[in-house]
Amino acid sequence: MIFDLLRRFSRHRAGTVSIIGALTLPLLLGFVSLAGEFGYGLVVKVENQRTADLASFAAALAYSSTNSTTTMTSVAQNVAALNGIGASQTSVGLVSSPRTAGDQAVSVNILRNDVLLLAPILRSGSTLPVSSQADAQLAAAPSACILALSGSGTGVTLSGGTSVSAASCSVSSNATVSVPCGTSITAKSVSYNGTTPTQPCSGISGSLVKQTTADPLASNTAVTALQTHANSLSSLSAPGAPNVSTGTLLEFGYSNQSTTQSALTTAGCSSSYTNSGGSWTVTCPNGGTYTFAGVVVDGGVSVSFAAATTAATFNFGPGKSSGCNGGTFSICNTGSTLTFGGGTFNISRGIMTGGGTTTTFGAGTFNIGSATSSCSGSGGNFSVCNTGTTLTFGGPSTFVIAGGIYNTGGSTLTMGSGSTNSFNIGPSSSGYAVLVGGGSKTTFADATGSGDLFQLVGNLSAPNGGTCMTISAAAQHDIDGYFSTAGGTALGAGVYSVYGYIAFGANGGGDVSCNGSTIGVSGTGVTLVMAGQSTVSGSSCTSAVFCEGAGFNNISLSAPTSGTDANLVIIGPSSATGGAYFSEGASNTLLSGALYFPKGPMALSGGASVGNQTGQCLQVIASQITLSGGTHLTSNSCISSSGSAQVELVQ
């Protein structure tokens, strides 16, 4: 009976829908609630993602400018708070970029637990965790390897078939950029802060960015120290002349032998003379002090002071009042050879050597005053006047020279040997500390010992082509004047601080064979600094404080690669407005380091080309930069701006 009832019930169709509805309604309500609440969760996630994007980007900008993770975190949490998200729900971190190896990124993660109202009925939990993450990459911005600082004026301007190559960095101008047809700039980016760059023939290869570019060397302590020192050079004092007013004149010739021998004997020296060869040998015992009015060597005569060593002292007074180039020098060699051993030499009125002679001094200390008559062809009174001859000072030696050095055409002058020489040289009556003539060779030995000097109070000038000059390596070279050369010049390592200007070939000249190589100017580990208190005149470089021109095709200057002055090769004035000019065929110039003229322009013209040494850098920073007349500039960055970075949302 029971089975019959069940069978009839199962076959009965009345109320089936109601029963099924009653059974399925809770399930339908649960699905609807879950869909609604999880859908809302997706809306919250989208809002959180938007906030995370904003927070990570803002935090990355903050970190880029401050390099502070504290500031970075604060900025991200403040952005989140503005969007209703608490600090406890916002985590911030500096991580490796998920896109570019080696770059960093600011990662912001927002985690919120969304409260569920209906879902707990189905025992699926009372909250829903909603997480959103964003990463803003801090990519290194391309450094400005060519930068025109001035916010006014012409900025970076090209004309006449010129080109700029800066493929690994940016060309930047705080004013305008002009690239007319026939010219080109190749760079990662070109930035400007004036009107949109002029490029009618699409001569710019690289992205364009409108922005202001900061001076990366504006607060560089090394640059400030270099400029300050250059500005202080006017306070240098020239050395004084030794005062020697007594003694007997030694005139070595074919006549008056007895008078000369008597004077030597009176002074404590002995001598011998060979009449057939016109040869004198003088012996002055070591350790003594020997005083004479001067020394004159007549034509064809050879003189050797044989026995003196570094312990002997020689004092030479006013010299011969007539003859010897028509004036007064303490030592005058117009004969054949004059040789001294080492010692201390106090020479009150200078040294003069005539054509075809050879004069040699051993190592020692040389205190030399100025002659009272002009050195032939020099236009002034000098302490050392070497004309058409060979004059050699051994070393290491100390030179204190009151009235400058003149080494004229075809002659050879060697100042010292070894590495611990010292030079303190004052000006001639015409203002030259060093003046060298065409075809001459002049060598200053290194001055790298403790306390050694290379100090010139006066101009350093080689105005004629064909000269070969080697300047000492020294930690500091001080020149209270200008430095101008038209021949080959080898610069020893160190800082060259010049109160006026530096000019290479401003008025002519060019490459020469010098020390076995063909050079214009060369130097490794050098930094040139100009106060700019005088400027070039009468050439294509007029008004410049650094000039290169007149066919110099082999100029190679490299900055130090380490130490305080690393990557600083040419530093212009801190206040004077003179600029740097490369002109008149100054091609194949290789510079390594930063060329920095914050107050003056940099210009290339007349087919000049400037580039960097292989594997090294050249960074050009000036008030404005102009290329014209078929010139070419190749550059890459040496010194980057602090905190410079490009921020990009990558995840």
For every residue of 155-211, DSSP letters joined together read: -EEE-SS-EEEEEEEEEEESS-EE--TT-EEEEEEEEESSSPPB-TT--EEEEEEE-
Biggest CA pair distance of the chain = 172
Helix (H) or strand (E) holding 16: helix 16-66
In whole numbers, what is the pLDDT of the chain averaged over residues?
A: 86
**Which of the listed ranges 269-273, 295-299, 347-351, 606-610 does the model predict with the highest average pLDDT?**
347-351
Contact present, 239 and 402 (Cβ < 8 Å): yes
As a residue count, the chain comes to: 651
β-pairing, 555-558 with 521-524?
parallel
Instruction: Output the pLDDT for position 418.
Output: 96
**Mean pLDDT of the region 144-169:** 92
Contact present, 404 and 427 (Cβ < 8 Å): yes
Contact present, 208 and 190 (Cβ < 8 Å): yes
Contact present, 465 and 509 (Cβ < 8 Å): yes
Q: How many CB atoms lie within 10 A of CB 180?
A: 15
Instruction: Output the pLDDT for position 627.
Output: 92
Instruction: Output the pLDDT for position 36.
Output: 54
* pLDDT band for position 319 (cuts 50, 70, 90): confident
Least confident of 314-323, 335-344, 481-490: 314-323
How far is it, in rounded angstroms, from Cα 495 to Cα 493?
A: 7
Q: How many CB atoms lie within 10 A of CB 515?
A: 12
* pLDDT band for position 231 (cuts 50, 70, 90): very high
Contact present, 342 and 305 (Cβ < 8 Å): no
Instruction: Output the pLDDT for position 530.
Output: 98
Indicate if the pLDDT at residue 144 is higher than 80.
Answer: yes
Indicate the SS3 state at residue 235: helix
**Mean pLDDT of the region 81-85:** 89
Eight-class DSSP state of 562? S
Instruction: Output the pLDDT for position 13.
Output: 59
Pull the structure tokens for residue 499: 């109160």
Indicate the SS3 state at residue 233: helix
Give residue for tokens 């009653």: 22
Q: What is the pTM of this model?
A: 0.81
**Mean pLDDT of the region 615-632:** 90
How far is it, in rounded angstroms, from Cα 525 to Cα 557?
A: 8
Least confident of 92-96, 369-373, 414-418: 92-96
Pull the structure tokens for residue 333: 């060699």
Write out pLDDT tens, residues 529-573. Answer: 999 999 998 877 889 999 988 777 778 999 999 999 999 999 999
Give residue for tokens 């089936």: 16
Least confident of 456-470, 472-486, 549-563, 618-632: 549-563
Pull the structure tokens for residue 374: 């002009």
Contact present, 406 and 385 (Cβ < 8 Å): yes
Measured CA to CA in angstroms, residue 496 lies from 33, 321, 468 at distances of 82, 40, 18
- The values of phi and psi at residue 460, to 5°, are -110, 110
Residue 562: Cβ-neighbour burial (10 angstroms; 0-12, 13-18, 19+): exposed
Percent of the chain with pLDDT over 70: 87
Instruction: Output the pLDDT for position 18.
Output: 57
Helix (H) or strand (E) holding 637: none
Torsional class of 122: left (φ above 0), alpha (ψ -120 to 50), beta (otherwise): alpha
* pLDDT band for position 307 (cuts 50, 70, 90): low
Contact present, 37 and 128 (Cβ < 8 Å): yes
- The values of phi and psi at residue 372, to 5°, are -100, 10
**Mean pLDDT of the region 280-284:** 92
* pLDDT band for position 68 (cuts 50, 70, 90): confident
**What are the b/e assignments for 256-295, b being 16+ CB within 10 Å?**
eeeebbebbeebebebebeeeebbbbbbbeeeeebbbbbb
Indicate if the pLDDT at residue 126 is higher than 70.
Answer: no
**Which of the listed ranges 343-347, 539-543, 603-607, 633-637 does the model predict with the highest average pLDDT?**
343-347
Least confident of 336-345, 386-395, 639-648: 639-648
How far is it, in rounded angstroms, from Cα 350 to Cα 402?
A: 9
Q: Which amino acid is at 58?
A: A
Instruction: Give all strands of the β-sheet with 90-96 in edge-to-edge order.
Output: 90-96, 104-115, 127-139, 646-649
Indicate if the pLDDT at residue 643 is higher than 50.
Answer: no
The residue that leads in pLDDT, 534 or 327, is 534
How far is it, in rounded angstroms, from Cα 520 to Cα 489?
A: 6
Indicate the SS3 state at residue 246: coil
Instruction: Output the pLDDT for position 114.
Output: 63
